[in-house]
């Protein structure tokens, strides 16, 4: 058939079924609908915001850089740890009396933060310094020096191009509560990360937090029981939910101050003689100290002799005796005269411990060393007691061999610290055969260090203004659904018409052939 004949055969069909005008009509209708469908304002992703927290502990300071997307979820930023910098030297309280030294100690880590955070973000990056028990003790002994140290570190931080938000001394209750927030955030007990970058409420039960620092120890957990002492009650709102916590901080029960307190008690019990047997020190260990090294803390002032000579020396001889060590450590706790329905120790109210707990900071390092020495995964009270006995029976040379890779200045203290861990958790806080296995000992979770700093940033991020972002128009979900329906209907109609046209062409061809 010639091409002219083919065109002639199609002309009647095109006259009956004008496909092109129909398609154009449908597209026109869709265009009209687009003009009438409601739209909504949305913000383009604003990128990351950054925050810096300086954890000024009693024995050292750490700088943490956190980041989170500026479009916060339920009023609280989704914060992750970007990096960590450990400040050289001791805690800022150790620089008391040395003008400018505390501020200078932070300089190297702050310079590192300048390099790691994008330059355009510097002016809107908040910096917080939180000091804990070391500074609480300094404030007790010398308020003037405490204020001077805070002023010096504040001045140093303000010389950097960030948004300085203050240097404060946290209360023990705040330290405990923020540590609890960190633990539960890292375990995804508040929210859980889902697909396409969204977070969802996890609905999980929260986990208690056990912190063992240099100068204080904290216990924090959610409870349904009435908290009889309001000083131990803390309420937080995170990700649209309210949490009622029990929290208490025991000042002078951190590892460093506890060891100093134990030493002062032993020296006093032996009449302040020039030579003292220390049952918690390992056998074959000797050490000489000046009295000022023992009694220079507010935690040991109650043991100070009447005729106090700070320059007088005392020689300590290791005894390596578990039972005597336990007896001396137990004297540091008081279980008499509880004014509430129940107490932990030292007349402090505490509800019964329930649920799971995470123990971190020095708790983790002591527990890890005990497992290293015994080769046993310690998860029951009898295992904990056996491990403490094993460590206390080791002489100094044996401990030096076992503690390779650990801090060398801690070797002599492992027996005392192990006994204290046992006494605090089992007798003090009331963990037993049923509840002790629910304690996990950790130093990190995910990519973040466990401690109060991340919880501090999480709570404070709720107060930060959201970063401005570009606004554009977009269709609502319902509008997109309608357009998708019309588009599919258009395709179906076009396919139907094409098939019908092909059928007509075939039929016409057959008739011409006849």
What is the Cα 36 distance to its own chain's centre? Answer: 49
- Given a contact cutoff of 8 angstroms between Cβ atoms, the answer to whether 82 and 65 are in contact is yes
* C-alpha torsion 11→15→19→21, nearest 10: 120
Q: Centre a 10 Å sphere on the Cβ of residue 400 and count the other Cβ atoms it contains.
A: 16
Q: Identify the active-site residue in 152, 156, 174, 175.
A: 175
Whether 174 sits among the annotated catalytic residues: the reply is: no
Q: Which of 78, 73, 51, 63 is nearest to 186 (CA)?
A: 78
141: Cα within 13 Å, side-chain hemisphere: 17
- Report residue 492: phi and psi, to 5°: -60, -45
- Cβ atoms of 198 and 347 within 8 Å: the answer is no
Q: Among the residues of 379-436, which ranges form H helices? A: 381-392, 396-402, 414-422
Number of H helices, E strands in the chain: 16, 20
What are the phi and psi torsion angles at 425 (to 5°)?
-70, -45
Place of tokens 């000024």: 56
Q: DSSP letters of 256-307?
A: HHHHHHHHHHHHHHTTT-SEEEETTSPTT-EEEEEHHHHH-STTTGGG--SS
- C-alpha span between 169 and 136 (Å, rounded): 7
Q: For residues 489 and 475, give the distance between their C-alpha atoms in angstroms, rounded to a whole number.
A: 20
Which residues are catalytic, by number?
Answer: 175
């Amino acid at each position: 058939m010639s091409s002219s004949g083919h065109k002639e055969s199609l002309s009647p069909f095109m006259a009956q079924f004008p496909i092109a005008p129909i398609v154009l009509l449908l597209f026109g209708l869709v265009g009209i609908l687009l003009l009438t469908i409601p739209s909504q304002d949305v913000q383009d992703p604003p990128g990351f915001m950054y925050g810096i927290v300086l954890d000024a502990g009693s024995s050292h300071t750490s700088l943490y850089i956190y980041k989170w997307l500026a479009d916060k979820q339920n009023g609280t930023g989704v914060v992750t740890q970007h990096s960590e910098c450990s400040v050289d030297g001791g805690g800022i309280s150790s620089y008391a009396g040395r003008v400018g030294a505390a501020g200078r100690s932070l300089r190297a880590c702050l310079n590192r933060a300048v390099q790691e955070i994008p330059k355009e973000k510097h002016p809107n990056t908040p910096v917080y310094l939180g000091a804990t028990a070391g500074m609480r003790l300094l404030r007790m002994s010398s308020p003037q020096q405490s204020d001077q140290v805070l002023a010096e570190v504040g001045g140093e931080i303000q010389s950097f191009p960030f948004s300085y938000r203050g240097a404060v001394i946290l209360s023990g209750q705040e330290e405990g509560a923020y540590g609890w927030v960190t633990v539960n955030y890292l375990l995804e007990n508040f929210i859980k990360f889902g697909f396409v970058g969204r977070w969802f409420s996890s609905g999980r039960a929260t986990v208690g937090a056990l912190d063992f620092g240099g100068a204080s120890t904290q216990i924090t957990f959610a409870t349904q029981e009435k908290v009889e002492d309001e000083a131990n009650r803390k309420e937080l709102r995170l990700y649209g939910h309210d949490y009622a916590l029990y929290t208490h901080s025991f000042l002078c029960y951190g590892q460093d101050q506890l060891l100093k307190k134990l030493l002062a008690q032993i020296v006093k019990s032996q009449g302040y003689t020039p030579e003292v047997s220390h049952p918690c020190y390992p056998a074959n260990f000797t050490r000489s100290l000046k009295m000022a090294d023992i009694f220079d803390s507010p935690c040991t002032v109650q043991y100070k002799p009447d005729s106090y000579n700070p320059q007088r020396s005392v020689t300590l001889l290791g005894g390596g005796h578990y039972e005597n060590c336990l007896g001396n450590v137990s004297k540091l706790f008081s279980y008499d005269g509880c004014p509430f329905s129940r107490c932990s120790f030292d007349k402090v109210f505490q509800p019964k411990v329930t649920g799971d707990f995470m123990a971190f900071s020095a708790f983790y390092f002591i527990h890890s060393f005990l497992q290293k020495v015994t080769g046993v995964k310690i998860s029951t009270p009898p295992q904990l007691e056996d491990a403490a006995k094993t460590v206390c029976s080791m002489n100094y040379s044996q401990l030096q061999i076992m503690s390779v890779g650990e801090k060398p200045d801690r070797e002599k203290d492992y027996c005392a610290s192990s006994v204290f861990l046992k006494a605090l958790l089992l007798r003090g806080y009331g963990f037993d055969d049923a509840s002790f296995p629910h304690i996990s000992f950790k130093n990190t979770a995910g990519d973040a260090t466990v401690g109060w700093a991340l919880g501090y940033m999480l709570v404070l991020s709720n107060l930060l203004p959201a970063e401005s972002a570009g606004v554009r128009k977009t269709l609502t979900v319902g509008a997109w659904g309608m357009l998708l329906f019309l588009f599919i209907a258009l395709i179906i109609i076009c396919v139907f018409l094409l098939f019908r046209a092909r059928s007509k062409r075939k039929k016409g061809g057959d008739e011409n052939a006849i």
